[in-house]
Structure 1
Amino acid sequence: MTYRRHQYQRFRPPNRSTLYLVVNKAASDYLPKKIDSLIAELKRESREFHLIDADSPAGASTLIRQAVNRHPEGIIACGGDGTVNLVAQHLARRSPILGIFPLGKFNNIYRSLYGEPDTGRAIKHFLSGRARRIDHALVDGNLVLGSLAIGLIPELNEIIGKRRIPRFGISWSRYASQAAARVQQTPISIKMDAFQFDIAPRLLNINLLPYTLGLPMTGASLDDDGKAEVIFDVGDGKAILSGYIRMIFKKKYIYSDEIRIYRGHKILLTPLRGKNLYLDGDIFPIKSESLSIEVFEKKIRLFDLEARPAKESAVDE
């Protein structure tokens, strides 16, 4: 995720709640006219707002942190999953509310929380002033809101790259077969709460929310139950994963012995050094031997027009 120069633009009608808009101009679906329509709607509603534009994630983080300390009503992530994650990093256990204006390629977090990406509907959510609370996890100190993955998903993400998202199951199946062939299987020990076991998977996903790479990996993921879904194969071959991704795309897969799904609150994975980690749309090399994941229940406030009024659902700072 890239940003440009540091800049604030301001519009200040009196006596209204403030919103900060974190705009990622490098987002896949960014268009100036989409931000213009958002600004026009805020002005029409006489809302005070500030646009945050920075030249790096570090610069954006500094400006977001400063914004949070001014206690606005909300901070709106205008971008994809990486932008949403960047904003959410500063909102756990804080009073400002997270808003999402979907401009990414997959928009997994928005899609999981609200349904199909719709910028018009998104505006209604954060103009409603209503909020509910959702979970997040920390992965060795790094926040995750949607999902993280090792093996198949990082490879599949690289294969899709800048291509268009596949529209048909056969394309997903072909890409999944290519991705599975690139995964080097190694033994991994998983400790999940009080339960421990060893596997050598090609697919290993941990989902707080259903969608990863635009695929509905699990319908069991709840955004406010303090649990994550752990999805993995038992290493029986790449053909299984090809069929699995095709059926997941069609929302017809039923988890069984070949690919399993468990739920947990605290998860420890080892050894992992040298593998790539997919985390909310971004890829990172794993530099430690293990990853420790812990889910925290209802610590981030999210705009939702169907929720009760925001003042009744605040999180203590």
Structure 2
Amino acid sequence: MNIDLSGSPQLITKTGNKNQSADSYVLRNALKMIDANTSHSANASKKTYPYWFILNPAADKGRAKKRVDWLKKSLKRQELDTVIQLTTMPSEATAFASQAKTCAGIIVACGGDGTLNEVTQSLVHSDSVLGCLPIGSANDFFKNISEIEAEEAGISHLFNATVQPVDVGQVFYQAEHTSSSRFFLNSFGLGFSGRIAKMAAAITWLKGDLTYIYALLKVAANYEAMQANVKLHTQDGIISLDQEKIYMLSIGNGKVEAGKFKIAPQAEINDGWLDVCILKDISRSDLPRWILKYLTGKQIGESQIVYAKAKKIEIELFRPECLHMDGEVIENVQGKLTIEVRPRALNVLSSKKLS
């Protein structure tokens, strides 16, 4: 089988014969990965597994490119032959993952939640396994699958984890008069949080949580609530909101987005449900109180909050809006949207035992 890595830069990390050519190494390693045992255990000390790393140098406002040499050295210490591919443009990680899953069992997304989102698009409903090397800004999804902080994570968690199935959300939407669908792994935001994600993506001079706090304050200065019809398909029936003025609509597969905001405190990434948190229209002067509630996860039960677990969410917008999926921004979304859960549709490496 020919492995086509053309059209983008890639680094080959090898721990075998130093005089071996890169081309012969790629072929040998690819063939080995095709034939390798892809058992659902990630204990590298007992078995050899095929790993393929897709690294986004633009993650964390471009700071991730400084981690390439670190990753090469870390893999060499593990005596692990593998491939590291570097992305050069948006959506390239999706294409790389589509290629890699034909010859590798474990695809490691190296970046933030956006990089994970891109890789996820190619791995849902497949036998491939998603690994996470958190070198992005917020690294929200990583919080669901690890007991350690992203800042403390090396690469050892990738070899001391187990493969566990998790849910994903699928969004059907229309933007620029084109119908599309996309998966999200951690969170979906419409309205206020969609605008924040857009603003945060444009900020290059701040890092981590400060980026989202600054973006929040900038967006809040002139944001007006959106009007929408919403139907939530819950275990207890349909919850309908008709022509409701909504400040923010969040859907969580994971609990946290934008670093520290607990948009879905009761969410579990493998319970077969999506957690919906709707904040109805609020005054600008009341926003600081709500920020505190979302930071602490204490918004549930408030009269301005609708919180429910749903299998399906239907939304009808009355104006074009901005949404995000795992921080990936889509503008000018209009008309009707449908969001559905896809239970246990993705295999991930997790060092945390999921309930």
- What TM-score comes out, normalization by structure 2 length? 0.75
Residues 135 and 225 in structure 1, CA contact (< 8 A), matched pair in contact too: yes
Match among 164, 172, 189 for residue 229 of structure 2: 189
Of residues 121-130 and 133-142 in structure 1, the stretch that sits farther from structure 2 once superposed is 121-130
What is the letter of the counterpart of residue 108 of structure 2?
I
Of residues 148-157 and 16-25 in structure 1, the stretch that sits farther from structure 2 once superposed is 148-157
In structure 2, do the counterparts of structure 1 residues 130 and 273 end up closer, same or farther at CA, with 3 Å as the change threshold? same
Q: How far, CA to CA, are the matches of 2:352 and 2:275 in structure 1?
A: 25
Partner secondary structure for residue 243 of structure 1? helix
Residues 189 and 323 in structure 2, CA contact (< 8 A), matched pair in contact too: yes
> Residue 166 of structure 2 aligns with which residue?
134
- Following superposition, the deviation at residue 47 of structure 1 comes to 2.1
> Residue 291 of structure 1 aligns with which residue?
337
Match among 55, 77, 100 for residue 109 of structure 2: 77
Q: How far, CA to CA, are the matches of 2:84 and 2:353 in structure 1?
A: 26
Match among 143, 150, 155 for residue 183 of structure 2: 143
Residues 254 and 269 in structure 2, CA contact (< 8 A), matched pair in contact too: yes
Q: How far, CA to CA, are the matches of 1:179 and 1:32 in structure 2?
A: 29
- Following superposition, the deviation at residue 32 of structure 1 comes to 4.9
The alignment-based identity, stated in percent, is 21
In structure 2, do the counterparts of structure 1 residues 32 and 136 end up closer, same or farther at CA, with 3 Å as the change threshold? same
Of residues 17-26 and 230-239 in structure 1, the stretch that sits farther from structure 2 once superposed is 230-239
What is the letter of the counterpart of residue 244 of structure 1?
W
- Following superposition, the deviation at residue 186 of structure 1 comes to 3.4
Partner secondary structure for residue 8 of structure 2? coil
The RMSD of aligned alpha carbons is: 2.8
Q: How far, CA to CA, are the matches of 1:5 and 1:88 in structure 2?
A: 20
Structure 1 unaligned runs (5+)?
309-317
- What TM-score comes out, normalization by structure 1 length? 0.83
Q: Structure 2 matches for 1:162-201, cutoff 5 A?
A: 162=204, 163-165=206-208, 172=213, 176=216, 178-193=218-233, 194-195=237-238, 196-198=240-242, 199-201=244-246
- Following superposition, the deviation at residue 154 of structure 1 comes to 2.5
In structure 2, do the counterparts of structure 1 residues 166 and 188 end up closer, same or farther at CA, with 3 Å as the change threshold? same
Q: Structure 2 matches for 1:240-279, cutoff 5 A?
A: 240-271=286-317, 274-279=320-325
> Residue 112 of structure 1 aligns with which residue?
144
Q: How far, CA to CA, are the matches of 1:274 and 1:213 in structure 2?
A: 23
- Following superposition, the deviation at residue 159 of structure 1 comes to 5.0
> Residue 157 of structure 2 aligns with which residue?
125
- Following superposition, the deviation at residue 307 of structure 1 comes to 5.0
Partner secondary structure for residue 295 of structure 1? strand
> Residue 73 of structure 2 aligns with which residue?
40
Residues 149 and 277 in structure 1, CA contact (< 8 A), matched pair in contact too: yes
Corresponding residue pairs, total: 300
What is the letter of the counterpart of residue 211 of structure 1?
V
Q: How far, CA to CA, are the matches of 1:156 and 1:93 in structure 2?
A: 31
In structure 2, do the counterparts of structure 1 residues 38 and 127 end up closer, same or farther at CA, with 3 Å as the change threshold? farther
In structure 2, do the counterparts of structure 1 residues 152 and 186 end up closer, same or farther at CA, with 3 Å as the change threshold? closer
Residues 131 and 307 in structure 1, CA contact (< 8 A), matched pair in contact too: no
